[in-house]
Structure 1
Amino acid sequence: MVFLIPPVVGAFIGYSTNVVAIKMLFRPLKEARLFGLRLPFTPGILPKQRYRLSQSIGAMVERELLTPQVIRARLAQEDVRIKIKEAISQFTDKIKDNEQLYSSFVSVAVDFLRKREIRLELESKGRIFLRNIFNQLNTMQRLFLAAGQYDITLQEKMPQIIDELISNTESLLKEERIKNIFINAVKENKVKLDDYLFERLISVIDGQMESILASINVKQLVCDRIDSLDMKKVERIILDVMSDQFKWVEIFGGILGFLIGCFQSFFILFLR
């Protein structure tokens, strides 16, 4: 009976030690101090190293998981392409069935044309267009225009001309006839439109992949998210994922303690 004590005690100690060790991964959440001195093993390993851990995980995600190569490979997979095409198809369905979206489209288009840099570009193109026309006139026609200074007047009034052009374009797009032509064109060419939008979207994403990921800053995004999590929530997440593994670590500690106890019993028996 005496020889059973070391294996039982060893199993208890081995199991209990691993249980405590696993608890010490997460607890205590904050450091404890006695007489102004920080007590050893406070806070727990994960609370103490959470910021280093978040940096490591963020760097790993950025370097290994969310890379341009990985995303491009994922976009090339058929199931993803099907999902993107379905989303585009749903979008074009809304356009052809929802007249309000056409009004939104007109508003966005007009706002785009009225941007300062776009207006300046249109004015520049307009002056170049007029210059090309003047260059194609014969000598008498040029002389007539020069005498009346029509060319200079047109150049100076280019901003006003562009304003009128944008206003006329807006009025034209708001006409019921044009709206119906646009909606009917979308309906009649929906498949072609879907394919075109899909190819353009994939092309833009592929061409701008590096800059998109750089602007997102995947590493910082992951770090901020992990750092913002409450440690109790982190504990629950890790325990949910690794509860079976932790349980086997505890059991293995008990088995190892039991075997060491058996070795001690046999050693004592051998010495006798």
Structure 2
Amino acid sequence: MNVVILIAGMMLIGAAIGGVTNHLAIKMLFRPYKPIKIGNFQVPFTPGLIPKRRDELSRQLGAMVVNHLLTADGLRRKIEGQAFENQLTTFVQEEVEKLLNNDESIQEILSSLDLQLDQERLEDSISTWVEERYDSMMVGVRERKAAEMLPEEWKDKLEKSADEFAVYIQERVRMYLDSYEGKERIADLIDDYLDSQGFLGNMISSFMGSERLIDRIHPVLLKYVSAREATDWLQSMIQAELSKALNRPVKELEDKIGKTTIAGAIGQLVSRWLPMEQWLNRSLSDWVKPVQSKIILDVIPAVTPKVTELLASRMERMMNSMNLSGVVEEQVSSFPVERLEEIVLGISKREFKMITYLGALLGGLIGVVQGIIAVLLG
């Protein structure tokens, strides 16, 4: 009877020692969280293993993630896969469709992005942009003739406009000469001329008697100005001047007018010609409505493979620039040990219990063996 009690007692003692030892070892992975000191002496095995090796653990986890989990080759294979490409295409199509169906005006969208852009500012920006690019646009153009720069259709219109302008000038001159003001103006010019001729002028005036010279000349002037010959002469003269102007180098015309003047005029003309206010008040959906289906159904599926190919080719460089190992290390270092313990125990609680039970079992078996040896030797 004493032998059974001895063996049973040693078995229980061994089981208790084994179970408590394993349980304590598991707890010491995390506990205590901070070192315990008595004066200047730090108690051994404090803090726990994981808190003590936290920095090293962070570095190892960062290296493991980059070298074995999130590797450039693994991500590249994922990106180059057809499934990822299809998912990306669908995602982009859905997001772009939401964006293109936006009923807000361009002005409202810019305001929501803290970009203040009104009509006046936009016109000034476009005008300045055109002026700044005037010189680069004129390189290689200044030495060419103006006629070489114009399409044949424009030159035909210029010639036709020159003839019409000649007829207009002729009609305006005829109307002026036929008016009282015009007639008197010509009369004054004739009188001034005769007065300046001295004796010859007085002699001509005496021949006319009481009748003014303008009364005889005026009908002749009107007849000449209204004649077809005058029309032909005026048209040929304007056409000749137009031909001279078109056959001059563009540089000559530019020098006469002035580069600054031309650039400013072109910039203001372009900015005022464009319907800025109407554009700013149109909604984004109105702008893209004619091409929305083409963008979603044609452009995005065509662009997505190029994007995935670009991402795959730049994957290693992107990962290096993001410094993923440093990110993981930083996150692990800042992660509370209490939370880490909770997560690990929550996942492996059953396994840790089995380790404790296994320690108790092994301790009990060792106790039985020791009890048997003690009986045999005693």
What TM-score, normalized to structure 1? 0.77
* Other-structure match for 1:66: 70
1:97 to 86, 101, 107: 101
Cα distance change of structure 1 residues 266 and 188 upon mapping to structure 2, 3 Å threshold? same
* Other-structure match for 1:130: 138
Cα distance change of structure 1 residues 155 and 41 upon mapping to structure 2, 3 Å threshold? farther
* Other-structure match for 2:11: 7
Identity %: 21
Letter in 1 for 2:328: V
Letter in 1 for 2:29: L
Q: Which has the higher helix share?
A: 1
* Other-structure match for 2:334: 228
Please list, as runs of the form range in 1=range in 2, the aligned pairs for 1:1-272 lying within 5 A after superposition: 1=4, 2-100=6-104, 104=109, 127-134=135-142, 137=145, 144-150=249-255, 153=259, 157=263, 161=267, 168=274, 173-174=279-280, 176=282, 180=286, 182-272=288-378
CA distance in 2, matches of 1:174, 1:197: 28
Alpha-carbon RMSD across the aligned residues, in angstroms, is 3.9
What secondary structure, in the 3-state scheme, does the structure 2 residue paired with 1:99 have? coil
Letter in 2 for 1:74: K
CA distance in 2, matches of 1:178, 1:24: 63
Deviations 1:23-74 (A, max 9, x none): 1111111111112211111111111111111111011112222222111122
The answer for unaligned runs of 5 or more in structure 1 is 115-120
Whether the aligned pair in 1 keeps the contact of 2:106 and 2:284 (CA below 8 Å) is no
My pick for the range that moved more, 92-101 or 33-42, is: 92-101
The answer for unaligned runs of 5 or more in structure 2 is 123-128, 149-243
CA distance in 1, matches of 2:142, 2:285: 36
- Aligned pairs, how many? 263
What secondary structure, in the 3-state scheme, does the structure 2 residue paired with 1:26 have? coil
**Larger Rg: 1 or 2?**
2
My pick for the range that moved more, 191-200 or 38-47, is: 191-200
CA distance in 2, matches of 1:13, 1:54: 34
CA distance in 2, matches of 1:19, 1:89: 56
Letter in 1 for 2:336: D
Deviations 1:122-180 (A, max 9, x none): 99976554324446657x9795322234598279949x949967x95966854749963
What secondary structure, in the 3-state scheme, does the structure 1 residue paired with 2:45 have? coil
Cα distance change of structure 1 residues 243 and 110 upon mapping to structure 2, 3 Å threshold? same
Cα distance change of structure 1 residues 179 and 106 upon mapping to structure 2, 3 Å threshold? farther
Whether the aligned pair in 1 keeps the contact of 2:100 and 2:284 (CA below 8 Å) is no
Whether the aligned pair in 2 keeps the contact of 1:172 and 1:178 (CA below 8 Å) is no
Deviation of 1:105 (Å): 8.3
What TM-score, normalized to structure 2? 0.58
Whether the aligned pair in 1 keeps the contact of 2:103 and 2:284 (CA below 8 Å) is no
Whether the aligned pair in 1 keeps the contact of 2:104 and 2:284 (CA below 8 Å) is no
